[in-house]
């Protein structure tokens, strides 16, 4: 590929380019894990892996630093696989194609995997370097962060020896993350029967696409267009206004990404065809005006398709779309101290029609566990009211901030040296593995830092080139400042 070899630091970009060549979507990280283990073997570094695939590589202290506390450098090895609808890309087989666009590196119509590939690359570059002062380093690589955090969740209490962990999964420069929201997966299922579509009906596919999407934690407060919310609103109006029958509804591909595309297949009485087409055209104008700033290339299209033989029984379909339009979506509550800090949210992530059922997947996030559980109960009651079932799983805790830790002190000093200004301290609404790991290692101190990454979890993901070098230097400075035992 050799696209990034002239960028600095060269070793970091070399490793990142190697990572791009190895498919590693969530739950399919084995090849990248094998690459990391081979790296350890090539550099004669001690390593171990556990039953779920997590890896620890240990690098001894450099001369004169043997009396320093161990620093754990942590990154997750999976990436979010998102692509534009018209892009041919198999995330299980095809390499990511990075390209330089101005001051940024981005992929070609797919997610880049800078989240958390840059973190991996920085850690590998440090492990192979011979000119960086450091105490003992434990490089900790976890699997399946993006879809369940099962790597962190299944880490054994004796897998790590250090008690200072630098998580590399943040996306804002010169900012130290000290806490994050917890999460809970919600899964709803609605069974249905089918009825014949009358011969005097006409069929359409209505598709909303080209939305900005993004990370359902970081961008949830921006009120970006949400494909699943919009398509269900259109479906409800089609049923109520035009006596439409719906044969399928679908949208979204990842639980932790704001859906960028969704569609419904509808059948309309032939005498209402023109009215329906006008309705969709009017909706397109309205939505483009509403989301002109957040989703400037939003597209809502309506096209004729072959008339299906059957559709979802109309009364049942009305119940399902009423549930979807009443399901809490987006920001639910904010912290009292500042409206800019989301406390609780829900993302209606995936809607799929399959096997005589409509299945809906959501991701609830909250920094308040009681509020998260209350929201879950309300959603369950709503589903049961409309004849559906609800199952919740992957309940992970919030990471509660500690504002006066020894690790925070040296991280603040390191970033002030590199950026020549005091770093910001923050708590984010996105989920990080530190909350789970904090329950396994209650005496461990955590911080999270990173380079500048825009639009993670979407094909518009990009990383600022210059920020990667500053991030690398900041991590090196933390190692240099590691306190004595």
Supply the residues annotated as catalytic. 78, 145
CB 314 within 8 A of CB 239: yes
**Tokens at 190, concatenated:** 């609605």
Look-up: residue for tokens 């959603």? 379
For residue 262, the cross-strand partners are 208, 251
The H or E element spanning position 400 is none
Terminal-residue alpha carbon distance, the chain: 44
CB 29 within 8 A of CB 144: yes
Report the distance separating Cα 396 and Cα 445, nearest Å. 18
CB 197 within 8 A of CB 309: yes
Report the distance separating Cα 344 and Cα 371, nearest Å. 7
**Tokens at 97, concatenated:** 């194609």
**49 three-state secondary structure:** strand
Report the distance separating Cα 467 and Cα 450, nearest Å. 9
Report the distance separating Cα 363 and Cα 348, nearest Å. 7
**Tokens at 175, concatenated:** 């900012």
Phi-psi region of 2 (alpha: psi -120 to 50; beta: other; left: phi over 0): left
Nearest to 464 by CA among 450, 451, 448, 449: 451
Spell out the alpha helix ranges (H) of 99-256: 114-128, 150-153, 227-242
């Amino acid at each position: 590929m050799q696209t990034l070899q002239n960028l600095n630091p060269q070793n970091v970009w070399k490793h990142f380019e190697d990572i791009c060549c190895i498919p590693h979507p969530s739950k399919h990280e084995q090849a990248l894990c094998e690459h990391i283990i081979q790296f350890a073997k090539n550099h004669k570094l001690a390593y171990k892996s556990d039953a779920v695939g997590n890896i620890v590589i240990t690098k001894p202290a450099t001369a004169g630093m043997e009396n320093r506390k161990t620093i754990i450098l942590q990154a997750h090895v999976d990436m979010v696989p998102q692509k534009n609808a018209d892009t041919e890309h198999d995330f299980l087989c095809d390499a990511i194609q990075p390209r330089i666009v101005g001051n940024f590196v981005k992929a070609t119509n797919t997610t880049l995997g800078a989240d958390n590939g840059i973190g991996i690359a920085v850690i590998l570059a440090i492990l192979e370097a011979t000119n960086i002062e450091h105490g003992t380093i434990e490089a900790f690589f976890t699997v399946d962060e993006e879809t369940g955090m099962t790597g962190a969740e299944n880490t054994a209490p004796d897998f790590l020896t250090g008690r200072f962990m630098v998580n590399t999964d943040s996306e804002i420069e010169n900012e130290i993350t000290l806490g994050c929201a917890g999460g809970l997966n919600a899964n709803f299922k609605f069974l249905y029967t089918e009825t014949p579509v009358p011969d005097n009906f006409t069929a359409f596919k209505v598709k909303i696409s080209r939305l900005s999407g993004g990370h359902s934690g970081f961008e949830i407060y921006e009120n970006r267009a949400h494909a699943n919310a919009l398509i269900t609103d259109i479906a409800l109006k089609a049923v109520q206004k035009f006596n439409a029958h719906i044969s399928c509804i679908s949208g979204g591909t990842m639980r932790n990404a704001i859906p960028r595309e969704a569609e419904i297949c509808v059948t309309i009485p032939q005498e209402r065809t023109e009215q329906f087409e006008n309705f969709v055209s009017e909706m397109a104008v309205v939505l483009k005006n509403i989301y002109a700033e957040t989703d400037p290339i939003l597209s809502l299209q309506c096209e004729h398709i072959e008339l299906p033989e059957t559709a979802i029984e109309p009364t049942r379909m009305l119940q399902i779309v009423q549930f979807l339009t009443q399901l809490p979506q987006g920001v639910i509550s904010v912290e009292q101290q500042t409206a800019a800090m989301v406390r609780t949210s829900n993302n209606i992530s995936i809607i799929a029609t399959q096997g005589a059922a409509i299945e809906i997947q959501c991701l609830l996030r909250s920094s308040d566990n009681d509020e998260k559980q209350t929201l879950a109960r309300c959603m369950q009651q709503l589903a049961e009211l409309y004849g559906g079932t609800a199952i919740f799983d992957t309940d992970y805790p919030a990471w509660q901030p500690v504002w006066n830790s020894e690790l925070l002190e040296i991280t603040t000093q390191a970033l002030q040296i590199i950026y020549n200004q005091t770093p910001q301290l923050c708590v984010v609404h996105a989920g990080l593995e530190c909350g789970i790991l904090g329950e396994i290692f209650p005496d461990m101190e955590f911080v999270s830092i990173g380079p500048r990454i825009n639009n993670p979890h979407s094909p518009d993901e990009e990383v600022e080139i210059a920020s990667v070098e500053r991030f690398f230097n900041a991590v090196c400075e933390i190692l240099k400042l590691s306190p004595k035992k």
